[in-house]
Amino acid sequence: NHVVTQVPANCTISQENRQFYADVIAGLQSEPKHLDSKYFYDANGDKLFQELMNCPEYYPTNCELEIFSEKTAEICDALIAGGDAFDLIELGAGDATKSSYLLKYLLDKKADFTYLPIDISGNVISYLNITLPVTLPGIKITGLNGEYFQMLKKAAAISPRRKVVLFLGSNIGNMPVNEAIEFCRELRNNLSEGDMVLIGMDLKKDPRVILAAYNDKDGITREFNLNLLRRINRELHADFNVNQFEHYPTYDPETGACKSYLISLQDQEVMIGHENISFKKDEYIYMEISQKFTIMQTDQIAINTGFQPVGQFFDTKKWFIDAVWVA
């Protein structure tokens, strides 16, 4: 954080925020305007997402927790079936609440594995490195702080063992379908034959249930979106008036795309660093996609990207799937 870039004469942007600044400016100078949802997760965004997971309307976390707590043995047996010793890699581990069910079961079973959580947040990785050996005595853990594919390459360099990759929470849904397929292809290219993936995907269901999950009564999702504008104000010296933007979530039952927008309530100008961005009344910023899938689509994505779908785990309502794929 020592190297700084002058933005306007009197403001500075830290080295680590230069990419953030470039992405924000490029996104808001595009037509239509958009921001990248990966920037939701600063410390405040992490907290809001935790709150969101406790909202009654936000069902995906509860569904996947039900799968992990009720089907622990079946899931672990499917993962162990590929061979004894393995590296259990988690993409975007967060606080590892869901994966802890698997870790505990695998430890009790004396399975020979090392847990390698990968996360872009250094805080997350140091938290896991410190707390997991206490809550799960005997666990072998090597946290990797960085981008998914760079860290996967690093994991492959550290050990030649079979890889089992966890990609949970329907994080795959944060990409449009084409990009999700590209992502799975790149994932496959970073794995070897016989490696496995356990991937969580949110399924199509009653459109009203889905829309409500992204439009909770307490307004946490709204705050979650507006927080990115606040973060831009704080870190990039901008002057968004967040009261002049309205959260607008949509769900298209045909395509399964759940998208959220922030709509400008008036003609307005916003300064970000030395850039001036104009908004027309009713103009939108496209903030996030949370894609929903059919069960058939989950199999097709696997097959089209070089995997074999070999297992499916559902919650009782069949709202969410954790699928097992073999490379």
| Closer of 113 and 167 to ligand AVJ (Cβ) | 167
| Closer of 41 and 240 to ligand AVJ (Cβ) | 41
Contact between 190 and ligand AVJ by CB under 6 A: the answer reads no
Q: How far is the CB of 193 from ligand AVJ (least distance, A)?
A: 29
Contact between 290 and ligand AVJ by CB under 6 A: the answer reads yes
Partners of 312 in beta bridges: 323
CA atoms within 13 A on the CB side of 1: 1
CA atoms within 13 A on the CB side of 99: 28
Number of residues that bind ligand AVJ (CB under 6 A): 12
Q: How far is the CB of 174 from ligand AVJ (least distance, A)?
A: 4
Show the binding pattern over residues 219-258: x = contacts ligand AVJ (CB under 6 A), - = does not. --x--x----------------------------------
Q: Is the peptide bond before 32 cis (omega within 30 degrees of 0)?
A: yes
Hey, CA dihedral for 213, 214, 219, 224, is it positive or negative? Answer: positive
Show the binding pattern over residues 259-288: x = contacts ligand AVJ (CB under 6 A), - = does not. -----------------------------x
* Segment lying near ligand AVJ (by CB under 6 A), choices 167-175, 235-243, 270-278, 293-301: 167-175
Question: What angle do helix axes 220-236 and 43-53 make, rounded to 10 degrees?
Answer: 180
| Closer of 52 and 78 to ligand AVJ (Cβ) | 52
Q: H or E segment at 286?
A: strand 284-289
Contact between 170 and ligand AVJ by CB under 6 A: the answer reads yes
Give the separation between CA 223 and CA 113, rounded to whole angstroms.
40
Q: How far is the CB of 56 from ligand AVJ (least distance, A)?
A: 14
Where in 1-137 does DSSP place strands (E)? 4-6, 12-14, 33-34, 86-91, 113-119
Q: Which residues, 81 to 110, sit near ligand AVJ by CB under 6 A?
A: none
Q: How far is the CB of 170 from ligand AVJ (least distance, A)?
A: 5
Contact between 60 and ligand AVJ by CB under 6 A: the answer reads yes
Amino acid at 318: K
Instruction: Tabulate helix, strand, coil % of the chain (nearest 5).
Output: 45, 25, 30
Applying CB under 6 A, the residues found at the interface with ligand AVJ are 52, 60, 169-171, 173-174, 214, 221, 224, 288, 290
